[in-house]
Structure 1
């Protein structure tokens, strides 16, 4: 494929790295705001929710692309599919575990805000299960540990990683396609069940468990299957993809109107994620397949945005602690700043980006240098010294 935006021989797509930058920026804006009195407004826009769903779609797309590529290489090279399985988990371990476990171990050692009481949930990647046990009151939801509440999405991805690679290795492409379609259809049904029947007092229960986000993850996976030409149905032309994206946008707008009118909030919560995930998956397909001359491609290929996407995993993990670190630093210099001012908000962003940037260069990047060596040991008989080869800087997957 002679397409400037398509994946190169290493499976790297610059636009997707930039898209990760967009996703993490949506999360940061929803948590930090944009200046005086903006935090409540941007929180109601649901930008963080959109950013997390975009992360899920990208994760489904990227890990499926890697798995299918490795399975094709294994079939042509006479390599056992089990090696693909082991290689996937070795790569994921190098990418995900180090800074996550370093963070929660540090929180445990200093017992940050009583973290030890719930540390077991986080060590076992069950933060989302603890999340649905939040205490709800008439005034709203009381988070048990607000600074680590965002780990629920990391737990969901890890739970998905435990199940999905096994299916991808064991099932045929045809069977995998229909299993993914069933999961996409089941997700909104699960959310409707949770929101209307299981726990009407807390609608987010259906959104914080793996079945409730399977449409986002699996639509990303289906986009990867489509990209590799492995769909058991006739592939639609690009104009039909654009039409589908437009229709989804119209439906999403209609659901959003219902939300703002407060007449069908629960139905909105149940259905909007599926529409949003379909839009995100369509955008991913268009970015990978269409020429890179569009304004969107140029924007996503911007150096600074791609850098943000590259360190997005660290940004997601550390950003919730920026407020506490900044407050401690201001206390050390006997300085007071009013919250939600431009200066205070700017310092929060600076703190979060500094933590993630240092983490990338001192921890994540050096560890990822061993990835080609691990891959070569598992997939071929020849080894490559650590630091050689090309690593895919696609951010958190």
Structure 2
């Protein structure tokens, strides 16, 4: 929405959005891909509910769902950091703004659901699918420090005789992402020639893609090729290196859609050791190609209105669904074995159990999104906005510091009005891109002291 179309009242002095800030709606194709990625990941873990299904769920290596998440995260985070660099010349300001938002965006929901699983295990004891209580305690502790990937590697390598999986092991990917965020944020700020990062990141991604990385090895748990491919896409767009390619794709939509469909297929069908020993690299290359195509926000997947609505809904709940799906599958199996042990021996009983697990996971994801993710994400943003206002207040001495601190907890009238606009857009399928347009809110926050003065 253009800056001049926002009505904040007669006493508001509006600052126009910077030219580099994207203010159009969130990329619906990316939201659709999030839904696609979580669907692949859930299918990959159906063996937790019914181990006999492992024969067909394991025919292809379905880790491509996680790799697609990685690539999307690499692209979105790099794009967000590049925007932040435009207004954050000091590293302390740049780093704290980024990490405050990351912490409130990801950490609360992850800690909440891991703690719920932990206490359920303490209350019910060792369960076959959920995992041993001792194993869950170790993973739960590692998740606080974002080192679950390293914990599993150490456990598998050095404690293999007493190392057992549990329903929190999927947190390894969240740990790897947080570690990578630290790496990419430092590189973007301190490297004087950001364009050179394109070559370095691309070389690093291609090198990893060529290396064989069996499960249990360190390289499997720190794989970042898909993340780097996403970073390369964001950097090339930022420096307009790929402008001609994107212009061609926009003029030849069928070609772009055919390529997108092809790579969404190869993300799965090439993921088999019998096809290539480098199948993990083929999967990350497919994920990189997918994100490169949809990054231009040309609605290749979501041209129809109903498809866009589904994509936005599924994408917004994908993180919470990722958190809860594996514990839900495990608990559903344990409960079924306890209450009706023969139910999982029949195929119709298995399908009923699967339906119950899916409904439960969707319900928990909705609760998580509405009452944890979204409120705390907005709270984290409000903190960074007030931090901007606090800095200006020290210079102008017009705004009491206590009112700024209190504002972290109580929305201003402007924010209430913006929330109404946001809800209207949600109902019409036009959610703002919070990752790329986050700096807009910071810019508007700088006007708060002027409004109150």
TM range (shorter): 0.7 to 0.9
Which structure 2 residues correspond to residues 125-140 of structure 1 after superposition, within 5 A?
125-133=146-154, 135=156
8 Å CA contact retained: 1:203, 1:266:
no
In structure 2, the partner of 1:355 is 364
Distance in 2, Cα, partners of 1:164 & 1:363: 27
1:46 aligns to what SS in structure 2?
coil
Q: Under a length normalisation based on structure 1, what TM-score does the superposition of the two structures give?
A: 0.76
Distance in 1, Cα, partners of 2:267 & 2:178: 33
Residue in structure 2 matching 1:176, options 170, 190, 197:
197
Distance in 2, Cα, partners of 1:351 & 1:158: 28
Aligned pair count?
A: 364
TM-superposition CA deviations, 1:207-255 (whole Å, max 9, x none)? 5332x2x221111112112223354x885454479689959959x9699
8 Å CA contact retained: 1:134, 1:143:
yes
8 Å CA contact retained: 1:71, 1:81:
no
In structure 1, the partner of 2:442 is none
1:305 has 2:316 as partner: no
Residue in structure 2 matching 1:208, options 179, 203, 220:
220
**Distance change >3 Å, CA 36–CA 303, structure 1 → 2:** farther
Distance in 2, Cα, partners of 1:24 & 1:80: 37
Distance in 2, Cα, partners of 1:24 & 1:129: 23
1:208 aligns to what SS in structure 2?
helix
Distance in 1, Cα, partners of 2:270 & 2:380: 47
In structure 1, the partner of 2:447 is none
**Distance change >3 Å, CA 92–CA 223, structure 1 → 2:** same
Distance in 2, Cα, partners of 1:324 & 1:71: 43
1:56 aligns to what SS in structure 2?
helix
1:121 has 2:130 as partner: no
1:369 aligns to what SS in structure 2?
helix
In structure 1, the partner of 2:386 is 377
**Distance change >3 Å, CA 46–CA 169, structure 1 → 2:** same
CA RMSD of aligned residues (A): 4.1
Distance in 2, Cα, partners of 1:325 & 1:124: 25
Distance in 2, Cα, partners of 1:11 & 1:70: 19
Residue in structure 2 matching 1:89, options 81, 99, 102:
99
1:9 has 2:23 as partner: yes
- Give the superposition deviation at 1:40: 2.9
Gaps of 5+ in 2: 3-20, 126-131, 394-403, 423-431, 436-453
Gaps of 5+ in 1: 196-201
TM-superposition CA deviations, 1:25-50 (whole Å, max 9, x none)? 11112223799975532332333x11
TM-superposition CA deviations, 1:312-336 (whole Å, max 9, x none)? 1111111111134335665897786
TM-superposition CA deviations, 1:241-300 (whole Å, max 9, x none)? 9689959959x969967946x3x643334x3234223322223324x2x2x3x5544389
Distance in 2, Cα, partners of 1:36 & 1:164: 38
8 Å CA contact retained: 1:258, 1:268:
yes
Distance in 1, Cα, partners of 2:277 & 2:161: 16
- Give the superposition deviation at 1:353: 0.8
In structure 2, the partner of 1:69 is 83
Distance in 2, Cα, partners of 1:254 & 1:97: 29
- Give the superposition deviation at 1:53: 0.8
8 Å CA contact retained: 1:86, 1:378:
no
- Give the superposition deviation at 1:11: 7.0
- Give the superposition deviation at 1:73: 3.4
**Distance change >3 Å, CA 248–CA 325, structure 1 → 2:** closer
Distance in 1, Cα, partners of 2:150 & 2:270: 31
2:73 aligns to what SS in structure 1?
helix
In structure 2, the partner of 1:325 is 331
- Give the superposition deviation at 1:354: 1.1
Q: Under a length normalisation based on structure 2, what TM-score does the superposition of the two structures give?
A: 0.67
**Distance change >3 Å, CA 144–CA 167, structure 1 → 2:** same
Higher Cα radius of gyration:
2
Distance in 2, Cα, partners of 1:184 & 1:99: 30
